Amino acid sequence: MRTMKPARILLFAMLGAVFATIGDAFHVRTHTLSYPNPHLFNQAWWVYPGFLLVFLLMGYLYSLGIGRLFIGMQARQSASRGSAREMIEAAAAFIFVYLLSGYGNYDPAFMSVIFYSAFAVRWLLTYDRAWLLLIAAAMAVGGMLAEGAMSALGLVAYRHVDVFNVPLWLGGLYLHGAFALREGMRFFVYGSRGQG
């Protein structure tokens, strides 16, 4: 297992926050969500800084958690050097799910079925499944609770709401984000293949 390079978590977080902010702008554009006091691109001023903090936290918790795995849980590959191809594939899949959530938010039940079913298939075909399921569940529950709390505070509003002020498909979106988180950590933080 490679040692984590803490300075790289910042780069990972900054890039992740850029893509998440663009995805959020797409959600605004497709009327999936809205902000009461929008600024640039009809988003709140705190969207990018908020995503930056979230990605910093996810990177830190990922590296902390992988060093303290439950007995019998395998995650050797999840903390090894990654490749640009694997990182791009995981990011592209997540972007695709993000785009679907924007275009498909008019039929949230169908989106939920698609997202959760697709996650189950991807999960069965991946490595270090127990570790991935742990981070995916933490992201889905944590993400829905955080966004639900922001919605309850009037900071953001979703067009369709199923549970705790957010749509049910949102958890599925976060589940797919776990693949991108893992490959991003492997590439940016644990070192890409070809690096010393």
Q: Residue 17 falls within a domain, yes or no? A: yes
pTM given for the model: 0.92
pLDDT exceeds cutoff 90 at 137: yes
Phi then psi for residue 67, to 5 deg, are -85, -10
The answer to whether 102 and 161 are in contact (CB under 8 A) is no
Q: Residue 177 falls within a domain, yes or no? A: yes
**Would you place residue 133 in the very low, low, confident or very high pLDDT band (cuts 50, 70, 90)?**
very high
Domains of the chain: total: 1
Rounded Cα distance, 70 and 89, in Å: 28
Residue 3: the pLDDT is 58
Q: Residue 196 falls within a domain, yes or no? A: no
Question: Domain range holding 16?
Answer: 6-189
Q: Residue 98 falls within a domain, yes or no? A: yes
Q: Residue 194 falls within a domain, yes or no? A: no
Residue 4: the pLDDT is 59
**Count of CB atoms situated within 10 Å of the CB of 83:** 14
**Would you place residue 72 in the very low, low, confident or very high pLDDT band (cuts 50, 70, 90)?**
low
Q: Residue 195 falls within a domain, yes or no? A: no
> Side-chain half-sphere of 151: how many Cα atoms within 13 Å?
19
State in Å, rounded, how far the first CA of the chain is from the last one: 14
Q: Residue 1 falls within a domain, yes or no? A: no
Q: Residue 10 falls within a domain, yes or no? A: yes
Rounded Cα distance, 167 and 64, in Å: 30
How many residues are given for the chain? Answer: 196
